[in-house]
Amino acid sequence: MSFAVSSAFAQTQNLPASTDTTEKKHFPYAAACEDVKAQSQILLNLQHQLNQNPKQHAQIREDFWKRVELIGTPIIENYDEQHSRIVFLWKGAQHNVRLIGGPSNDHEWLTRLPNTDIWFKESIIDHRYIGSYSFAVDLPNLEGYLSNYCPHLNPKLKESRMQRRAVIQVQRIDPFNKKTYLASDDTSGLRNENLVALKDAPSFIDPKQYPNVHQPQLQEFVLDSKILNNSRKIQIYQSKAKKNQSYITAIFFDGQQYNELLNVPKALDILVEQGQLPPIQAIFVSPPNDQERPKELTPNTKFSAFFSDD
């Protein structure tokens, strides 16, 4: 897939049991970090207007959001011959905002422009960039250490899996970007995300093409591992190939999610049909269960042996 997919598209009902309302009361929300200075022209112009007209803040902010709604987000500004500045924006959060996905494919914090309802995250990226993103808005602080999240204040902070997964319950798509992975009226219950492609981005598979493409059939097996002493489901996809053509092979961990949630087999079919990929077989390898997954996918010699031998 051409999208930054590893952060995304989990089913919304699969939340960690520990993110309940009782636990949220124990800790404050992460505070707004205002030490990051805006560099983009659109935000510098806005700050200048606000500084020059302190009695007109409300009207200036309203005019700003009207302009954003008109031009759409994220804002793209030319930086140099090879790079653009991309500006992600969110309106009106009370406590904090995180960018899910985006150029880093991580959970990066947005900064609130002081004394406004404007949250922003800027990055310098290649003109060829293509990716997906969404936001986590007013993320609860489940473990107490997020009260000061500014990266330059404590770069050694490391989140637990529980805290990182908490973004799922407060995930939102960008209301100023009409390009989304799923249709606005989708009823699948899957997480939606916004798409962004810069001017030199390669051609990609638009998910809106999916309904017009036949669903590939996969073979399904149970793989027993003596190395890991467990069993798991694997699913194998093969694209069409001419006689005597060989396949390249791709292996996807979190296989069921890539197969069923992202529908990678259909994307591969489209890419092969378009001649952008040679004949390919994909092996979708699922973990035995949610408890074993983090143990296996943390680097370890047994799982490396499973990958190379089993």
Domain residue spans of the chain: 21-197, 210-309
Of 271 and 30, more confident: 271
Which pLDDT does position 188 carry in this prediction? 66
Q: Which CATH superfamily is domain 210-309 in?
A: Alpha/Beta hydrolase fold, catalytic domain (3.40.50.1820)
Burial of 152 per CB tally in 10 Å (0-12, 13-18, 19+): exposed
Distance between CA 70 and CA 59 in Å, rounded?
17
Cis peptide before 74 (omega within 30 of 0): yes
Of 150 and 296, more confident: 296
Tell me: the pLDDT tens digits for 33-71?
777 899 999 999 999 999 999 999 999 999 999 999 999
Examine the pLDDT at 18 and tell me if it is beyond 60: no
Average pLDDT over residues 259-269: 88
Choosing among 3.40.190.170, 3.40.50.300, 1.20.1530.20, 2.60.40.10, the CATH entry for 21-197 is 2.60.40.10
What end-to-end distance do the CA atoms of the chain give, in Å?
Answer: 26
Tell me: the pLDDT tens digits for 150-189?
766 676 777 788 888 889 889 999 999 999 877 777 776 6
Examine the pLDDT at 27 and tell me if it is beyond 70: no
Same fold, 21-197 and 210-309: no
Distance between CA 269 and CA 153 in Å, rounded?
47
Average pLDDT over residues 102-108: 91
